[in-house]
Amino acid sequence: MCNGAVIAPQFGDGRADAAARATLQRAFPGRTVEQLDIDALGSGGGGIHCVTQQQPVP
């Protein structure tokens, strides 16, 4: 979750993605649900959480 939104994965299955979006929208009625295609992340073994972490200063 972030400022007014819920970020969720999208897997390319229209029916399942729509059902997930609807469920999240009911659970978080005051937020926008944004689904992101994570195929590239998933193929590397990661997810949204993995690419939203802090980066150390070199």
Active site residues: 50
Per-residue pLDDT at 38: 80
Cα–Cα distance, 42 to 49 (Å, whole number): 11
Structural element, H or E, at residue 3:
none
Judge whether residue 3 has pLDDT over 70.
Answer: yes
In DSSP terms, which residues pair with 5 in a beta bridge? Answer: 2, 32
Q: How confident is the model at residue 31 (pLDDT cuts 50, 70, 90)?
A: very high
> Which amino acid is located at 34 in the chain?
E
Judge whether residue 51 has pLDDT over 80.
Answer: no
pTM of the full structure: 0.71
